Amino acid sequence: MDSSSNEASGNRKTSWKKNPEAVKENILTIATEEFAAQGLSGANINEIAKRTATSKRMIYYYFGDKEGLYQHVLERVYSSLRDMEQALNVAGLEPVAALRRLTEATFDSHVNNPQFIRLVMIENIHNAEYIEKSEIIPKLNKAIIDKLTDVCDRGKASGVLRMDADPLELHWMTSSASFYNVSNMATFSTSFGNSLFTDEGQKRLRRRVVDMVLGAVVVGYQP
Amino acid sequence: MDSSSNEASGNRKTSWKKNPEAVKENILTIATEEFAAQGLSGANINEIAKRTATSKRMIYYYFGDKEGLYQHVLERVYSSLRDMEQALNVAGLEPVAALRRLTEATFDSHVNNPQFIRLVMIENIHNAEYIEKSEIIPKLNKAIIDKLTDVCDRGKASGVLRMDADPLELHWMTSSASFYNVSNMATFSTSFGNSLFTDEGQKRLRRRVVDMVLGAVVVGYQP
Amino acid sequence: MDSSSNEASGNRKTSWKKNPEAVKENILTIATEEFAAQGLSGANINEIAKRTATSKRMIYYYFGDKEGLYQHVLERVYSSLRDMEQALNVAGLEPVAALRRLTEATFDSHVNNPQFIRLVMIENIHNAEYIEKSEIIPKLNKAIIDKLTDVCDRGKASGVLRMDADPLELHWMTSSASFYNVSNMATFSTSFGNSLFTDEGQKRLRRRVVDMVLGAVVVGYQP
Amino acid sequence: MDSSSNEASGNRKTSWKKNPEAVKENILTIATEEFAAQGLSGANINEIAKRTATSKRMIYYYFGDKEGLYQHVLERVYSSLRDMEQALNVAGLEPVAALRRLTEATFDSHVNNPQFIRLVMIENIHNAEYIEKSEIIPKLNKAIIDKLTDVCDRGKASGVLRMDADPLELHWMTSSASFYNVSNMATFSTSFGNSLFTDEGQKRLRRRVVDMVLGAVVVGYQP
DNA sequence: TATGAATGAGGCTTCATTCAT
DNA sequence: AATGAATGAAGCCTCATTCAT
């Protein structure tokens, strides 16, 4: 009718309507992209709606408001990453191998989930206000600590790990390197070149991270 | 930090008129706080202006637009941190002591400059678009690498550092831990408690970071 | 002209809600007046909105921005004038009578559509930038040339028109006089008095224009 | 000092200061370009000042305000065109040759002064408000009418011109074609192609205009 | 005669959200 | 369960103009 106007569009994409879960998923997928790309204030409900297979009204219908949508996005992305961590089976490995495997898996999963990283950065900009409000996110974090506790206990018992090895600190060490690797890639490579972010550079960095972590807790560790 | 005003920065619309440098400094001080707190899209020019000793109009007069102001804020905060790094004198120290000192200084300076951290996070959300545009930021980054190069060269020559020690990787290792410690404090402590962020916890973490970094490059390092 | 409102267009914020076409028409009617009166930069969106039966927000909803609104205004006014031209039936007239009729009709329609004239002037100030962007305006201009081509062909065939009579030049001759008569009335009458713009003066001018045009292409024309 | 800001510039171009007339001329030259290009509301005092060899303050010093500057621009451009007309000497020519010469000269002078044309268009958009205020413009317009009156008188006396030939109408006929040729070139060529505005097309049009004008008043005129 | 700094009003536009159906 | 139309508040920015020196 009036092709040049911006807001008054009209035609919906496909018609897989009448499937609430699919509609919600579709909204969340788009919203995840937009919030990860632009942040909470930077993302635009109109833009999200436009890219969606449904309408703006449905966003409000299902998620209440922009903040509600953001919170759902956050919870969904946290869940899926924690699921991934939970799938990691290290109970059968001896402590040092287990630690190595957990560290490498963390490094890799961060590299493979830049949207998660960006959303966590954004959430930190907001002082974790929204995950504090969440009722499901706190429940997700025990698994990884439990795993590390088991590894530490076994390692200390067998004498391969130093007695001051601490599960939480280990998680922090692993996470800091893995997170920063993705979160600060843009500014780091702008400042210092991208040599650490080539395939080769990333391989070296990954090895370094493992060495750092193991070196910090394994008795007599030699790279 | 707030060196340009001889009175507390809180007093409204008084004194210092007809002093362009002071006006600009005042604007930049407030804008730094707002951008660090709210991000680029989240910050509000009206709010910044209101907290300023001058008017909204002057922000545009001196900085052109919101993005221009943000870029100046970024440049100012990068400069002041790099100045701090440059002031660190480690040329006289033996390599391992020098590395320890650099690592501790980096850890501390990040803890003491949360605004810088937040602005760098925000800049990464924007894919480093604004520091890429900057003409002064790229010039600021050589100093720290030069220092680490000198330390590495001396350490390898004397045999205390491993031959694969690399200045850029060292900077990355130091930065990743120090940055993450501040940038992700909110989400990390929400997820895992704040035990690492008490005074005591920070002391332990600081020691761990030094051990990690030195362990990675010092021959036969024992914590 | 103002066919869409069933009540006088002056009444504020009443009736016709939930009637998009009427809302758009109402906006376009007011906007046409304002742009014709003040030009593109001189017109004021607030002012337009205020005179409208709807709100400023709806202008942006339907037309995107000020330039979008201006372009729609331009297209609407071009369309309505070309419609008028198309309604003129001269196919049955012998060539000289047809030419006379077309010239008189052009002269009259320009006199009766000062808004169109002003908008075309404004568009020329903008170097026709907006009609170049338009997808519908270029399509509107064939009709008048087709008519003149038919008249010329028949006139040359019967020997009443000179062999160098050219449809495009004829259109230009007719238009130049008719357009200038309205477009430059203000400066011309300020400079030389308004004797040509009284009813009597306009009658004389209209006759002169017909004589000029016919004199230029009719063989042995005598006024 | 602060290279990225828009308004806070600083360096003036050349230093031929202390010459009021030159400064005024310089301002008027630039202002003429800007007003002709953008119109009264579209032109920007900041922009004019920036392109000037002097400062914004001087514009206000010499011309009072934006409207004052516009009025001076208008007067200057009218004067210079009327000077040109006055320089045309046709007193010695026989009436038909004189008319031909005046028509051709008008056509040419319009083609060569597009800025004048644009300013007159703009002034008509403003309903000639500013030339009405002017005290010098009305005085400039007698010359051309006087010349045409002389030609008409002589022509009627010798019988070569029709008794209804009228100086004012002749001026109008000449002007309308000459003015429109320049003023509406943009929209006309967008609508109908630029064939009339090539060198060849303009030559044909110029001849046509002469034929139209002479045909309207010369007894038994044959092109 | 000249200038950089300063100003307030108001311009255009966008946003998240709600209404009526 | 779904939609196009509508909204008010507020956002960013620009303008012509004046001040202080």
The C-alpha angle A95, A170, B152, rounded to 5 degrees, equals 105
Closest CA in chain B for residue D2: B62
Q: Which residues of chain B have pLDDT under 70?
A: 1-18
Average pLDDT over residues C67-82: 95
The phi and psi torsions of A107 (rounded to 5 degrees) equal -55, -50
Residues A114 and A185 in one domain: yes
C96 and C9 in a common domain: no
Would the pLDDT of C108 be above 70?
Answer: yes
What is the reported pTM? 0.90
CATH number of the structural domain spanning residue A170 = 1.10.357.10
Mean pLDDT of chain A: 91
Supply the mean pLDDT for chain D.
91
Q: What is the pLDDT of residues D157-176, one digit of tens each?
A: 999 999 999 999 999 999 99
CA-CA-CA-CA torsion sign (C161, C165, C169, C173): negative
Query: What is the residue type of A37?
Result: A
Let me know whether C90 and C47 are in one domain.
Answer: no
Residues D34 and D81 in one domain: no
Last residue of a domain, one of D29, D46, D64: D64
Please tell me the distance in Å from A6's CA to the nearest CA on chain C.
5
Band the pLDDT of C82: cuts 50, 70, 90. confident
Do chains B and A touch, with touching meaning 3 or more CB–CB pairs less than 8 Å apart? yes
pLDDT band at D14; cut points 50, 70, 90: very low
Mean pLDDT of A57-80: 95
Q: Are residues A119 and A156 in the same domain?
A: yes
Average pLDDT of C60-81? 96
Q: Select the residue from A107, A137, A164, A183 to test the B interface by mutation, using most B Cβ atoms within 10 A.
A: A183
> Given C64, C87, C107, which residue is the final one in a domain?
C64
Contact residues on chain C for D176, CB-CB shorter than 8 A: 176-177, 179-181, 184
pLDDT by residue (tens digit) across A13-57? 444 556 888 899 999 999 999 999 999 999 999 999 999 999 999
pLDDT, residue C143, reads 86
| Å separating the CA of residue D10 from the C1' of nucleotide E4 | 7
Which tokens in the block code for residue D26?
Answer: 């310089």
Angle A74-A77-A81 (CA atoms, 0-180°, nearest 5)?
135
Chains contacting D (3+ CB pairs below 8 angstroms): B, C
Q: Which residues of B fall within a CB distance of 8 Å from D7?
A: 60-61, 64
- Our measurement of CA A35 to C1' F5, in angstroms, reads 27
Q: Which residue has the tokens 């758009």?
A: C24
Q: Note whether A96 and A218 are within 8 A (CB).
A: yes
pLDDT at A82: 86
pLDDT at residue B13, as a whole number: 42
Residue B218 φ/ψ, nearest 5 degrees: -90, 130
Chain C, nearest residue to D74 by Cα: C187
How many residues are recorded in chain C?
223
CB contact D2 to B (< 8 Å)? yes
Q: Is a pLDDT exceeding 50 seen at residue C11?
A: no
d(CA D184, CA A156): 90
Whether the pLDDT of residue C12 is over 70: the answer is: no
In single-letter form, the type of residue at position C175 comes to S
Number of domains in chain D: 2
Confidence of residue D18 (pLDDT cuts 50, 70, 90): low
Report how far Cα C42 is from the mean position of its chain's Cα atoms.
21
- Which residue's CA shows the smallest distance to C1' of E15? A44
d(CA B128, CA B40) in angstroms, rounded, equals 12
The per-residue pLDDT for D21 is: 85
Which domain CATH number covers D15?
A: 1.10.10.60
Are A23 and A78 members of one domain? no
Tokens of C212: 């000029």
Q: Clarify whether residues D139 and D109 are in a common domain.
A: yes
Examine the domain organization and report whether B200 and B127 are in the same domain: yes
Q: Count of residues for chain D?
A: 223
pLDDT at A8: 60
- Residue where the block lists tokens 């394994």: A218
For A52-193, strand residue ranges (E) read none
pLDDT in tens, C117-175: 999 999 999 999 999 999 999 888 888 999 999 999 999 999 999 999 999 999 999 99
The band of D140, judged by pLDDT with boundaries at 50, 70 and 90, is: confident
D4 vs B contacts (CB less than 8 Å): 63-64, 68, 71-72
**Nucleotides of E strand lying within 7 Å of any protein CB atom:** 1-21
* pLDDT over threshold 90, residue A103: yes
**A13 beta carbon to strand F: under 7 Å:** no
The protein footprint on chain F, as nucleotides within 7 A of a CB, is 1-21
CA distance C130 to C150: 31
Q: What CA–CA distances, in Å, run from C16 to C10, C46, C173, D28?
A: 13, 21, 45, 51
Which nt sits closest to D22, CA to C1'? E1
Q: Which domain holds residue D184?
A: 73-223
CB spacing of B61 vs D8 below 8 angstroms: yes
Domain boundary among B24, B40, B64: B64
Are C30 and C82 found together in one domain?
no
- Work out the pLDDT band at D36, boundaries 50, 70, 90: very high
pLDDT value at residue D5:
45
**Same-domain status, C45 and C118:** no
Distance separating alpha carbons of residues D39 and C127, to the nearest angstrom: 12
If asked whether residues D130 and D183 sit together in one domain, one would say yes
Mean pLDDT to the nearest integer, D185-198 = 97
Question: Same domain for C117 and C198?
Answer: yes
Given a cut of 80, whether residue D22 has pLDDT beyond it is yes
